[in-house]
Chains A and B, each alone.
Chain A
Amino acid sequence: MNTTILLLLFAPLVGFLINIFFGKTLGKTVSGAIGTASVFISFLCTICLFSQINANGKAITFHLADWFSIGTIKVNFSFLFDQLSALWLLFVTGIGTLIHLYSISYMHEDENMHKFFSYLNLFVFFMIALVSGSNLLIMFIGWEGVGLCSYLLIGFWYKNQDYNDAAKKAFIMNRIGDLGFLIGIFILGHLFGTLDFLEIKALLGKDVISPSLLSIAALCLFIGACGKSAQLPLATWLPDAMAGPTPVSALIHAATMVTAGIFMITRMNFLFDLTPEIQNVIAIVGAITAIVAASIGLVQNDIKKVLAYSTVSQLGLMFLALGLGAYEVAVFHVITHAFFKACLFLGSGSVIHALHGEQDMRNMGGLRKVMPITFWTMMFSTLAISGIVPFSGFFSKDEILMTAFHTNIPLWIIGSIASIMTAFYMFRLMYITFFNDFRGTEEQKHHLHESPALITIPLIILGFLATVGGLISLPGNSWLNHYLAPLFAHKSHGEHHLDGETIMLMAIATVGAFIGIGIAWFKYIKNKEVPVADSEVQGLHKVLSNKYYLDEIYMATIVKPIYMISSFAKKYVEKFISKAVIGLGGATYALSIKGKKIQNGNIGVYLFAFIFGMVGFLVYVFIIRDLK
């Protein structure tokens, strides 16, 4: 078992080391193969581990090495493989393998392909550490590590300054969240004297602990989750992160890394259960994010931006579920979302690949006939994300909405509206991209082609999973809820039986989805509308196109004042400080120029000074001091 765990943990790291040091000499195909194989090995090990945990339901704690101990806090490099982390690892490494495979073909023309694969491998390594760490600090290492890889990969095409800016934005926004997370960790360490998940869980059951500090800790952890999972107000980095290569968007900014916040809250569910006020905050932030991001997604014209806002919106729905205490429902949606969103991103990558880098949907159209595999896999995923029976997204989204309906009707309404919007903008994307006639240049039209097998195979697998993924948690008979049950203290919220109310809610959700699809069909198929150029948009449309001016607001309220303070400091404070420092140095120098004259090399003078100094000292000690 230990070998399996070691392989699972370190195969991607070895892949990273090989690729970063020898990738260039090994050549593109070999470095791609090594990158893919290392993640695949992890995937196989995860399957072993998962099947064992699934069979006997026992969590495995793996102690690698001691790290440090301060006072009562002892932190080790140890890893916890329980139901949650095994499940998470399964789709992280599984989808990771598929996306590595896809990247071999997608990145083949890039001169730095070995670097790309080494970063991807490093990302998978840190993600595994994040998911399987048995205490908060190991999780934090992974948390920072995936942030670093996200930064490196967003700015992968570093020659474009916009991409570098996007990378920096992602890094800085994440840093704000990370600070919250770190403070949360400190508070928990202070409260419990340990950072181990299981120990904290045990202590929470027993002791009476200051509830206000506990709430602050939970809030800090949630701020960390907000940063990583792109929730308002820290959401704006994720759409910009689409500057990275498309496989990166699929793996990091849709399927895995951005769900880290949800993972962390699910991991710490025993803490959040005790702080209902923070749960309310989470639910409200999630709902607002879901609807705001969905409404921005309605009018985006960049194919990847639509998907990015859709991701933010779906993450919002997951946070809504978390806030309502329905952790297993959130996990369910994370999994189905990972399938269909990875598939959608890879599909959009396939389209972009066919059009040689074109991302504007207004220059696409009619691709259905030339790219049938891409079209159909994306279509299935779109049906899934829109919540159409029997695709996976229907079940997971429906469970979130049902939970909301039972606990908080306004949140249910917000979530439902966001879902209708989702159906609309996703079908808008599909209709504009794949239907009607091609609107690009003749040259592009000439080169249109279906992508090679390395791209279509992952698409087909993910499309299949997006279709049937809902089977793991059917209403009334949920394997997932049963599997995750040992993790949660309360009785499952997500266990809905197929009664009249459930069917009514399902019907409402389905009708809503069809309304969204219908509007999209009417606009873009029947009337053959094409979104107008950016300069012609007006009114509400313009507000949405500009993302509610969020970036501008941040610019005016945060960035600009900081710049003003900085320039003030540069002009006045810095001048004062440097003058003071230089003045001190100058005074010392001038004094030493005078002082060195004393040292004239004449031994007689030294002796004279020595003896008279000695005499002076003795006179002081034995005569002057005695007189006083």
Chain B
Amino acid sequence: MNILEHVGIENYLTLAALLFCIGAFGLLYRRNAIIMFMSIEIMLNAVNLLLVAFSSYHEDASGQVFVFFTMAVAAAEVAVGLAILVSVFRNIGNIDIDNLKNLKG
């Protein structure tokens, strides 16, 4: 029994779009690097949700395979990113991105 019979595909699309926008605005608005990471994760998961929904809609499993890939890559990205943030914190004492201005032209 397909789950899309209870909740229509358009609801998933709306939810994913909302999640993505929340992530994007969070990324732009917040200055704390950890929060920005969380925003990126929200955007990624919005996309994952879309992929899964369409996979189910088209009855094609390859969308779900993509989701696994995305999650693996996101985990790797977070691992590296957090390591960088730890290093930044050790050097300047906070992780406010407004303080990271040394690389300018």
Contacts and interface: CB of A to CB of B under 8 A. Distances in A.
Contact of B28 (A598, A601, A611): A611
A603 B37 CA distance: 14
B25 to A, nearest CB: 9
By size class, the interface of chain A is: 10 to 19
For chain A, what secondary structure do more than half of its interface residues adopt (helix, strand, loop), or is it mixed? helix
B100 A603 contact: yes
B6 interface: no
A607 B27 CA distance: 8
Interface string A587-625: 000000001111111111001100100000000000000
A599 B24 contact: no
A604 B97 CA distance: 7
Contacts, number: 31
Nearest to A592: B105
B90 interface: no
Nearest to A603: B97
For chain B, what secondary structure do more than half of its interface residues adopt (helix, strand, loop), or is it mixed? loop
A601 B99 CA distance: 10
Contacts of A607: 27-28
Interface string B73-105: 000000000000000000000000110111111
B77 to A, nearest CB: 16
A605 B27 CA distance: 11
Interface string A350-392: 0000000000000000000000000000000000000000000
Contact of A601 (B24, B27, B31, B103): B103
Contacts of A602: 98, 101, 104
A604 B98 contact: yes
Contacts of A598: 105
Contacts of B104: 599-602
Contacts of B102: 601
A494 B101 CA distance: 95
Nearest to B29: A604
Contacts of A597: 105
Nearest to A606: B97
The 9 closest A-B pairs by CB, nearest first: A601-B104, A596-B105, A599-B105, A601-B101, A603-B97, A600-B104, A601-B103, A611-B24, A603-B100
8 contacts: A599-B104, A599-B105, A600-B101, A600-B104, A601-B101, A601-B102, A604-B97, A604-B98
Given A597-B105, A604-B97, 9 more contacts: A598-B105, A601-B104, A601-B105, A602-B104, A603-B98, A603-B100, A604-B31, A607-B27, A611-B28
